[in-house]
Homo-oligomer: A and B are copies of this chain.
Amino acid sequence: MFEVSCLHLAANLWLVAIKAAFPLPPMNLRRYITSFAFISALASCAFAQPLVSPEVHADRTITFRYNAPGAKEVLLYSEAVTKAQPLQQDKQGVWSFTTAPVAPDIYVYSYIVDGRRVLDPANPVIKYNLFSTENQIHVPGPKTLPWEMNDVPHGIIHRHHYRSTIVDEERDVWVYTPPGYDATSAEKLPVLYLLHGFSDAEDAWVTVGRANVILDNLIASGAAKPMLVVMPRGYGNREVVAGGWAILRTPGWQQAWQNSNARFGQSLLNEIIPLVERNYRVSSDRNARAIAGLSMGGTQSLLIGLTASDRFAWIAAFSAGGMPEDYDQHFLGLKDKLNPDLRLLWIGCGTEDSLITGNKKFSAWLNAHGVQHTWKETPGQHNFLLWRRYLAEVIPLLFQESAPAKH
């Protein structure tokens, strides 16, 4: 009975909270809230004391908390735990779970409350996603970790808005310029085109992958050449991401997927690269152009990069997914160009990622046809824990005079 009334009260209080808070500013908000006597009386129900969540302890365990009196079940799904973990409820209706000590890293997590995903209201750090936005928690580590913010010069992220006539959509492309980039200098810098995964957007390599922080650190230490990094939106049509995850189960989806990758390739070559080369002091020499991406973006890097090896001399694919498997049809005609053209062809995948099978198969096909490349098998799954490391490993290889050995 308490649960039910509490559920309904919670609903109303949320509305009050949203209405009060969401438009109204603080001084007024306080008057507004305290004008509801019953809220004070039942504060523990929906307006409890401020919660700290997640809390990272000195021993690098993490306590996740969520205030939900009346909930039947609160589950934590996170890269910080090996499987979904149930939170336990205390007398005040605050649910919590504490992990074992975890390695310093950045972890994505979600709460599933009675079967429905909710964001952690106590944690403003989110991982944006087209279908299912979640939260992130940073467990700080030594400054030598490539994604740790250090006291070094920082590059700038530029967000350009343009209309893609090829995709028929208004969209943004994000451009990272390295520290000290000078639009007035004559020096022309190289460019990495860095592609996100399916269901993510152009922000993901910055807001989750920390590409700008990784570049800042590698450039500061001299490990990487100063370069621009261009992060476009990687969909070639609307259909491929229309309607949430369920879209994947619709008959037309696979066709939309192939069309999307093809169209995106046309847009990259004919709209995005020209936009970048109009707006920035960058080289248009193929030896100064790289393409890399994760998952869907890894597949696109291979499809676009190998097909247009006259435009890209450096290609890297992280945990590529959704590759067409008729390699001969796509790549056989190109194979003789690739060794002379490519300075780097880098393919990596996590050993705990079921996609490793397909990636191994493609690496074997390249070997069978004498196409030199780096094949990397790494302990890890299909997530940004691996991709941040891959980016930090590949960036120093790019645009170097002496290209690394490909085997």
Could you show 8 A-B contacts with beta carbons less than 8 Å apart?
A: A10-B115, A18-B132, A23-B382, A25-B355, A49-B250, A50-B242, A114-B114, A154-B162
A119-B133, A162-B154, A163-B151 are known contacts. Are A11 and B112 too (CB-CB below 8 A)? yes
Contact status A160-B170, CB under 8 Å:
no
In contact, A73 and B8 (Cβ under 8 angstroms): yes
Q: Which segment, of A29-37, A223-231, A303-311, faces chain B? A: A29-37
What residue in chain B is nearest A177 (Cβ atoms)? B158
Chain B residues, CB < 8 A from A70: 115
**A202-B285 Cα distance, complex, nearest whole Å:** 37
When the two chains form the complex, which single residue of B18, B26, B358 contacts A322, counting CB atoms closer than 8 Å? B26
Across the interface, do B29 and A248 meet the contact criterion of CB distance under 8 Å?
Answer: yes
Cβ of A156 within 8 Å of any chain B Cβ, yes or no, is yes
Contact with B along A224-247 (1 / 0, CB 8 A): 000000000000000001111111
Distance (Å) between the CB of A322 and the closest chain B CB? Answer: 4
A148-181 to B contact mask, C-beta < 8 Å, 1/0: 0101001011111111000000100000000000
Q: Contact: A296 with B26, CB < 8 Å?
A: yes
A contact set with B: CB distance below 8 Å: 6-11, 14-15, 17-19, 21-30, 32-34, 43, 46-52, 68, 70-73, 75, 77, 84, 108, 110, 112-119, 121-122, 124, 126, 128-134, 149, 151, 154, 156-163, 170, 183-184, 197-199, 201, 212, 241-250, 253-254, 257, 279, 295-296, 299, 319-323, 353-355, 358, 381-383
Given A151-B163, A243-B51, A121 contacting B115 (CB threshold 8 A): no
Partner of A122, one of B75, B122, B243: B243
Q: How far is the CB of A184 from chain B (nearest CB, A)?
A: 5
- CB pair A68 B355 closer than 8 Å: no
Q: Is B246's CB under 8 angstroms from A50's CB? A: yes
Q: With A and B bound together, what is the CA distance between A156 and B253 in angstroms?
A: 34
Are B49 and A246 interface neighbours, CB within 8 A? yes
Which B residues are in CB contact (< 8 Å) with A245? 17, 21, 47, 121
Q: Find chain B residues with CB under 8 A from A52 CB.
A: 242-243
B46 touches A115 (CB 8 A): yes
The complex places the Cα of A248 from the Cα of B128 at a distance, in Å, of 27
CB pair A156–B149 under 8 Å, yes or no, is no
B119, A116: Cβ atoms closer than 8 Å = no
* The one of B11, B32, B134, B248 that contacts A75, using a Cβ cutoff of 8 Å: B11
B157 and A170 contact, CB distance less than 8 A: no
Q: Do A170 and B149 contact each other (CB < 8 Å), given the known contacts A118-B116, A119-B119, A132-B18?
A: yes
- B14 and A116 contact, CB distance less than 8 A: yes
Say whether A157 contacts B154, CB under 8 Å.
Answer: no
Most interface-central of A19, A68, A161 (chain B CB within 10 A): A161
In this complex, what residue of B is CB-closest to A176?
A: B159
Q: Which residues of B contact A319 (CB under 8 A)?
A: 25
Bound-state CA distance A161–B9 (Å) is: 42
Distance in Å: Cβ of A84 to nearest Cβ of chain B:
5
Q: Are B115 and A249 in contact (CB under 8 A)?
A: no
